[in-house]
Structure 1
């Protein structure tokens, strides 16, 4: 069954639209994982080194990092953000699809709360130099930019997820929940 976005329709403002677009991409991820076993979700069936589970963990980490930057809430551990980014590709034995999907839902709710509480989408958000070097140069890192970048990242990786899912069993993420 297709996941229904948690954002009410009709969308009449920019915040709602940005959250809806994020949620559309989250739904693509959930659909790509629909009905798979743990072994399938962790497998690497294509030329890429990515599995659906590692992609999911990566996008969760990216969303959590974005939300923590928007809210100014430091992430646990105080570790190097680049090292954290690299580690987010590695799925541990205890990070089952169910655990990761629950964390995905928590990240979604945290993002929605942060966006609802934000008074100015044009507010500059500080990015450490070792993070900013991976971002688009010459732009202001505003709340709006970070949300749009997260949509971009989710869309890019939802496409990867679709290819991986097709490589596993021929199913397409965009049609898995229709029926």
Structure 2
């Protein structure tokens, strides 16, 4: 599908530039690591670098699905769904850092394509019922993209701390 929307300048360009900057920071934290290192938990937290990468990809994919299909794309806030989401923060047997990075690249490409082709960033859907969302709230595609950027930036910061704890390497500085 060819879009007549210009993503080289303007709002969409700014959104994608910001998102891609934070994606780069996150990807940079896992540079030159083995699968074993990416699965390590170097702090008291349950977080590992591979798990963070997997979580960010799953979160971005879920929100992009929401932009297209509404609240049902995000699943429910029940305990079973939350238990499955906890697995996003771990590298499971058979998962590799290379595979997680490839999956993240696929999610990113889909997001970027949607931003380039979505007719209007003002289209919105009601949020699903969950204790962390205001009842009756709606989010536009623009608001979802801002949320994806914030999530990616926050987790890139977590990843920076984990990487420094793991081997002293720093993302910035």
**Structure-2-length-normalised TM-score:** 0.83
Alpha carbons of structure 1 residues 63 and 23: separation in structure 2 relative to 1, 3 Å: same
Equivalent in 157, 162, 169 of residue 164 of structure 1: 162
Equivalent in 129, 143, 146 of residue 145 of structure 1: 143
Equivalent in 7, 23, 44 of residue 47 of structure 1: 44
Q: Does the aligned pair in 1 maintain the 2:127–2:138 contact within 8 Å? A: no
Cα deviation digits, residues 101-145 of structure 1 (max 9, x gap): 000000001101111121111111233213xx3346786411111
Equivalent in 3, 14, 17 of residue 17 of structure 1: 14
Q: Aligned pair 1:36/2:46, yes or no?
A: no
CA distance in 2, matches of 1:13, 1:171: 35
CA distance in 1, matches of 2:55, 2:116: 24
Segments ≥4 residues shifted beyond 2 Å:
77-87, 133-140
Q: Does the aligned pair in 1 maintain the 2:77–2:129 contact within 8 Å? A: no
Question: The residue matched to 2:161 in structure 1 has which SS?
Answer: helix
Q: Aligned pair 1:91/2:91, yes or no?
A: yes
Alpha carbons of structure 1 residues 147 and 135: separation in structure 2 relative to 1, 3 Å: farther
Unpaired runs of 5+ in structure 1?
1-9
Unpaired runs of 5+ in structure 2?
1-6
Q: Does the aligned pair in 1 maintain the 2:48–2:90 contact within 8 Å? A: no
The root-mean-square deviation of aligned C-alpha atoms, in Å, is 2.7
How many correspondences in the alignment?
164
